Each structure stands twice: as C-alpha cells, then as structure tokens.
C-alpha cells in the first residue's frame, strides 16, 4: 500500500469516528433533555385517578295497589332499561 492512499484513508477513518462520536453524544443529550422534561411534567401534572361514581337520579315512582305494582316514569330514558330487566331492588327501610 502506498503512502498516497494512506493519508486519505486516515482522514476518512478519523472523520467516520468523529461523526459516530458526535451523533451518539447528540442522541444522549436529547434523551437527557426529554427525561428532564418528563420528570418536570410528572411533578406538575395533576392526574385525577378518582373514579366518579354515577349520580343517582330520580327516574320514576313505584306504587303498589293491591297485588299490582305500577311505575310512573319521570325520565323517559329509563324505559329501555326497565324493558330489558336491568334494574336493582333495594330496601330503604326494613320493617321490624
């Protein structure tokens, strides 16, 4: 190998090593900046993990006349749930 080709090859090798080093340094700096921003965001972010329970709304009234139970609806959106049988029975006051 002649000396004429050794100088350009050395320059090319030095340039490649420098570019690889500078790119890895740049990527590390970017990752550090984003990590700092993430930690800052975590400190200032208000994450509400509270599960809001559904609000009870008066949808109708239940009456008993003899052996028959009748329901008078105030809110018409409850009709489909009643027709599908999606309701729950609970007692407000227990008899002694």
Model confidence pLDDT, tens digit, residues 17-35: 999 999 999 999 999 999 9
- For residue 55, list its beta bridge partners: none
Model confidence pLDDT, tens digit, residues 58-70: 888 888 888 888 8
Q: How much is the pLDDT for 32? A: 96
What's the whole-number mean pLDDT along residues 24-52? Answer: 88
Average pLDDT, the chain: 85
Tokens of 20: 């690889």
Q: Which residue has the tokens 């052996």?
A: 67
Q: How much is the pLDDT for 3? A: 76
Question: Exposed, middle or buried by CB within 10 Å (0-12, 13-18, 19+), for 15?
Answer: exposed
Q: How much is the pLDDT for 96? A: 58
């Amino acid at each position: 190998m002649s000396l004429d080709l050794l100088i350009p090859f050395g320059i090319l090798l030095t340039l490649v090593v420098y570019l690889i080093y500078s790119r890895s340094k740049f990527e590390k700096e970017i990752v550090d900046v984003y990590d700092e921003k993430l930690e800052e965001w975590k400190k200032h972010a208000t994450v509400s993990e509270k599960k809001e329970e559904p609000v009870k709304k008066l949808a109708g009234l239940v009456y008993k006349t003899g052996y028959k139970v009748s329901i008078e609806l105030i809110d018409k959106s409850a009709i489909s749930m009643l027709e599908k049988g999606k309701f729950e029975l609970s007692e407000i006051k227990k008899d002694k």
